[in-house]
Chain A
Amino acid sequence: MAGSREIRNKIKSVKNTQKITRAMEMVAASKMRKAQERMKKARPYGEKIRNVAAHMSRANTEYRHPFLIARDTVKRIGVIIVTSDKGLCGGLNTNVLRKVVNQMKTWRAEGEQVEVCCIGNKGLGFMSRVGANITSQVVGLGDAPDITKLIGAVKVVLDGYTQDQFDRVYIFYNRFINTMKQEPVMEQLLPLTDERMQSSEQENSNKPKATWDYIYEPEAKPVIDDIMVRYVEALIYQAVAENMASEQSARMVAMKAASDNAGNVINELTLIYNKSRQAAITKELSEIVGGAAAV
């Protein structure tokens, strides 16, 4: 019976692990619902500000914002990487980081410099380990994406763009498709693409450029600046919200898999335990019978 106690201990420890993964699964499930809700709630703002931006791009404005002007030569690229703060969420962060690294390799082959802005601990840790050029960072976002926390890090990148430090800005994050599926995506953030400047209302997207202009209070430049910065921030906020929903669902799925695995291990170990117990009993019996026969 020497091995049986070890097996019993092992079963106990696996059971404890299973309890933890179960709990994490349930926590992730409830957080996931909230995160998805937040993601959906952020949509109207994104849509509306997009419509405003679309109106603005059609209007005959006296001032064109730098975010709208594409540069001919691209030498330096800014990358915003959205990852989660915590691990134990399957391949979520790995997938997005792999996409980033592959893309960065291509850019470097083309002779472009890349600087990164990290949103989330995991991306930051990875990027500083591999020695990427980090311009700004924000970690510890918690469960709700908070625009006040994002503003600073984002501003560094946006200022970098207006001050010609970057010629182009991309964002990487996990797009939430459904609970089982999240997809790492790369999107161009700056300059804003034509597609991004089109209204979500289909009917008037093909109208010719209007001749009217807005009345601005107090002046065109600061107002348009404000709108454009808010638009880009809204896009980033949306990306962060999606990434958070993705994180929670990925964690839920990963933890469910872990709990199932623990169940399998327990089953196997129980089988071995029972077998060894039975073998010991049989051995003892045969010894007794053997002993009785000898007498």
Chain B
Amino acid sequence: MGTIFHLDIVSAEESIYSGPVEFLVAPAQMGEVGIYPRHTPMLTRIKSGMVRIKAQLKEEELVYVSGGMLEVQPDVVTILADTAVRSHDLDEAKALEAKRAAEEAMKNRESELDYAKAQAELIEAMAQLAAIDKLRKRGH
């Protein structure tokens, strides 16, 4: 112990790397950072780029990440890789789009939430399903 730490690189879609390593270099937002075991806790954004990993008794490995977050704990390092290109403006544009679509859909709606209608509709759907179920049971 003390000469290695655990590294996890994960993205929302898969686990990219998981295992004990001796040393790693990651492209942090303020410049590259090299991390050895027992590093002080640190949180930072990382840019897209290569993460260099040196595991024990192994060649150095290069893993590409498209940006994300890096968390350093004395014996665990986690890289949360983004699957999408993120920027504040881009997110904002997407939010506006989603909002606009909803407003469009809201234009021709009734003023008040009609619970009676909602429930009637759901009860009807449930009754249909129940009827199908019953028919099925009878058939066998």
Contact = CB atoms under 8 A, between A and B. Distances in A.
Interface of A: 38, 41-42, 44-45, 48-49, 51-52, 55-56, 59, 90-91, 94, 97-98, 101, 104-105, 108, 114, 117-118, 124, 126, 128-138, 147-148, 151-153, 155-156, 159, 212-218, 222-224, 226-227, 230, 234, 237, 257, 260-261, 264
A152 B98 contact: yes
Interface residues of B, number: 60
B98 A215 contact: no
B38 interface: no
Given A131-B110, A257-B136, A136 B99 contact: yes
Contact of B113 (A94, A131, A214, A224): A131
B82 to A, nearest CB: 8
A133 B43 contact: no
A230 B28 CA distance: 17
B40 A215 contact: yes
Interface string B77-92: 0101011101000011
25 contacts: A41-B15, A42-B12, A45-B11, A51-B76, A55-B73, A56-B43, A90-B129, A91-B125, A91-B129, A126-B121, A128-B109, A129-B117, A130-B117, A133-B113, A134-B105, A135-B102, A151-B86, A151-B94, A151-B95, A156-B98, A216-B43, A218-B44, A224-B43, A227-B80, A230-B82
B122 A101 contact: yes
B109 A131 contact: yes
B113 A217 contact: no
B114 interface: yes
A215 to B, nearest CB: 4
A114 B115 CA distance: 13
Which of A118, A131, A216 has most chain B Cβ within 10 Å?
Answer: A131
Nearest to A258: B132
Instruction: For the complex of A and B, list the 4 residue pairs with the smallest distance between their C-beta atoms, beginning with the closest.
Output: A152-B94, A152-B98, A217-B44, A130-B118
B93 to A, nearest CB: 8
B59 interface: no
B114 A131 contact: yes
Interface string B42-59: 111100000000000000
B139 interface: yes
B-side binding surface: helix, strand, loop or mixed?
A: mixed
Nearest to B33: A217
A230 B69 contact: yes
B133 to A, nearest CB: 9
B118 A51 contact: no
B15 A44 contact: yes
Contacts of A216: 42-44
Contacts of B25: none
Contacts of A114: 113
Contacts of B98: 136-138, 152-153, 155-156
Given A129-B121, A136-B101, A226 B114 contact: no
A261 B109 contact: no
Nearest to B105: A128
Given A94-B126, A216-B44, A45 B12 contact: yes
Contacts of A222: 45
A214 B29 contact: no
A135 B73 CA distance: 39
Contacts of A136: 95, 98-99, 101-102
B97 interface: yes
Contacts of A59: 41
